[in-house]
Structure 1
Amino acid sequence: MPTFETRIVLSRPRVQVFDFLVRTSNLIDLIPKDSGMQVISVPEIIEPGSRLEFRANAFGQTLDIVHEITELVTPEKITEVQVKGLFKKFVHEHVVEEGPGGEVVAIDRIQFEPPGGLLGFVVTAKRIQDQFASLFNYRHQQMRRLLG
């Protein structure tokens, strides 16, 4: 299964970075304005069982996307799984670790299976990984701005 992983080093306490990630108002600020992603319904604070609903214009289609929080271990890890959307399978782990020098490393690890059918010929794993790289570049810029 294809994967995508990226990380950012921050000089904030681990608990503060994790708290930032569980508040959906912050996560909304990490979505590029021109991404075609619209928030439909999200809780104020993520917890196990929370559902995050979006509408996205992606790869020439309008898609309804629903992710469910399947795991939340404070202040270490959040796992979200797509229950409706583009991918055959999509699991996103947000991991917050302490680095050896006291810094915090926020890691995003995504395992996914591209869509099938005719769309799968156009929306390849490589194209998806390139899109993730662009989205997370923006996300990291925003995290540096918001978390310093």
Structure 2
Amino acid sequence: MPKIELTTKIAAPIEIVFDLSRSIDLHKISTSHTNEEAIAGKTSGLIELNETVTWRAKHFGIYQELTSKVTGLERPNYFTDEMVKGAFKRFVHEHFFSEEKGCTIMNDVFDYDSPLGFLGKLVNFLFLKRYMSNLLEKRNETIKTFAESDNWEKVLPQ
């Protein structure tokens, strides 16, 4: 069961960082290189507790669909999304937010199982964990860039 843990320090208020992390619109921006789009469920705005979103994106040259659901949410400190349907055997993505010396500390814990038994473990070892880490790091960098500028106003409801 691979686990990816990332910490990102952001010079912005916790509420802005938290909401940017739940923004369907910002997620589309951060994954534009995969042609990712929300095609069902919540397709724009802020995803809330018990809502789902189905994403369609091109990974490894193949278009794939993945549906996730927000299964826990405590604004502005925490939310969890879990795969309901998709290519993984399972995944749980926990998002933790705290404040420290005027900054927001965003911690991601992405815990997943690859499909296909031993072959999935081999794929994970060879490249999947690195690929997923890069996707999450790019997403977090986009959140940081928007939060630390006035660009957050373009994607968050006023």
TM-score (norm 2): 0.81
Question: What are the within-5 Å matches in structure 2 for residues 57-136 of structure 1?
Answer: 57-99=58-100, 101-116=101-116, 120=120, 123-136=123-136
Instruction: Answer 1 or 2: which has greater helix percent.
Output: 2
- One-letter code aligned to 2:138: Y
Partner of residue 141, structure 1: 141
* Cα separation, 2, equivalents of 1:83 and 1:139: 21
* Cα separation, 2, equivalents of 1:89 and 1:20: 24
* Cα separation, 1, equivalents of 2:38 and 2:19: 20
Structure 2: where are the runs of 5+ without partners? 149-158
Per-residue deviation, 1:22: 2.5
| TM-align CA RMSD | 2.1
Per-residue deviation, 1:117: 5.5
Distance 1:70 1:22, change over 3 A: same
Per-residue deviation, 1:118: 8.3
Deviations 1:60-115 (A, max 9, x none): 5432210011011111111000010111110001111112x231111111000011
SS at match of 1:68: strand
- One-letter code aligned to 1:21: S
Distance 1:93 1:120, change over 3 A: same
SS at match of 1:49: coil
Per-residue deviation, 1:56: 2.5
Does residue 14 in structure 1 map to residue 8 in structure 2? no
Please identify runs of 4+ aligned residues in structure 1 that moved more than 4 A.
none
* Cα separation, 2, equivalents of 1:22 and 1:35: 19
Partner of residue 34, structure 1: 33
Does residue 45 in structure 1 map to residue 51 in structure 2? no
Alignment length, in residue pairs? 146
- One-letter code aligned to 2:88: F
Structure 1: where are the runs of 5+ without partners? none
Distance 1:130 1:14, change over 3 A: same
TM-score (norm 1): 0.85
* Cα separation, 2, equivalents of 1:86 and 1:132: 13
Partner of residue 57, structure 2: 56
